[in-house]
Structure 1
Amino acid sequence: PFISMVLFGKRKSELWHLQIDLAAGNEHPTDEKFPWALLRLHTDQYLKKKGKLSQAERDLRLGALIHEHDSNSKDIAMAACAYAMSPQAVRAALNVELNVSPVTYIGLYSYLQAFVAANHCNKDAVSDLEAQWARDLIPYATPGAAAPGRYLQGVTALLGNGNLPSLNLLPEFAVLARRAFVDFSSHLEGLKLKCEWSAAHASVSWLSALLDRPSATSSSRLGPEQLLDIQFPNWRIWAAWRPNTGRLRLL
């Protein structure tokens, strides 16, 4: 009754957006109590009201619903729609440029959760490897100026612990990594120009650990050092920087 009162006279799609957000509450696809069945029910009801649709028409409508949903909860929309979409349509909805804001990386947390949702609902669209990477990167998804560095910290940690021959096996993660390297480098240059050395040290402190670990010797796997050498060649200079942090705070 409450939903009917709020949305009286409005589009069915608006009702759907409200219904799935209310159904999910504060839960996300990685949570044990995430309401998969209830979200699917709301989408089933939405599609039933649209009559007989071809797969292409269904992809178009559901893709639009995901695109229109709030940027901080697109994972909820993906969880509600992916089961009824073609793998190609799901991949299109997961385009990183449409989901993660430049510089601030707002939307990254929801984007990673959306990979988990898509894998759960449509395994032909998102591989188990992609879903696992998304799960493992979620703790590093923090928006703001430090976001690119945090994301890269997560990527290098996964490369160091895994056996991935190429980041190209994870295309959207690779695109985001390339963007993050550019943004991370620009962020550090900005801190240098403003002489904000404490902030700079905090931003690069995670690189130091990579100098102390054995480099990957196998040509069949991509190590974090290899990725950094290609995308961020001066990383070793930053990693070797061990300033007196007490003095930095006085600058």
Structure 2
Amino acid sequence: MLAASALAMDMWDQAVVKDNSAASTINQLQNGVWQTHDLEAVAGVADEDWYVVGQGIGRSYHVSVGELTGDVPISNADFLTLWDSTGTTLLMTAGSGTTGKSFRWIASITGSPRVCVKGSATTTSKSQYSIVFNETTLFCPRFNNAGTQVSVLILQNTITSSCDVTVYFFNEAGVLLGTYDATVDGYATLVLPAASVPNISGQKGSVKIANHCNLGSLKGKLVALEPATGFSFDTICETR
């Protein structure tokens, strides 16, 4: 079912090209940049604010809504949703929340899905919220399992909730060599010898880690060891 469009009066709604539908919006959320909007209803029609987000296959993302005024209808099931690029297929609905809502996903395709924040028939220009989009993929620029060196990936989950991760190993030419899926429990550490992943022995390159973890909660590094000398070389895994 095609999601309906609606009109309200913040600056995005007053522009020539409005943000009231998946088809019309050109408001693309940028990584880590907050935006503040209102949800003013017009003639009893709930306002809908639509956003474009860019995603790449095998990478992970997080959208969060917070900084709410008191009459924002955050308890509504359709307050924060993720759709395909046409706004016709519902991909995800945010879970429960009283002071904010968020959702996280790993992209199965490269594309430009839409995020929708929906008000109610009674929200006003003072019904305001802020929204932010973040890529949560971790990138580790170097592993080395060639020659006499061996590499070990270490991941730490810094919060109580467990989360799923997918680790991608690429050679120096950017060709995918292999993947590894795991669940990292709350406050747990995952220690993954690269050689334990099929097709990684004798290879060197980089690592990408897509995850369903809370924003900023997953930390990691790659340690390359030289057994003959005892030297080790740490590579920190970072988000972009």
- Same topology, TM > 0.5: no
- Greater relative contact order (Cα < 8 A, sep 6+): 2
TM-score w.r.t. length of structure 1: 0.27
Larger % of strand: which? Answer: 2
Larger % of helix: which? Answer: 1
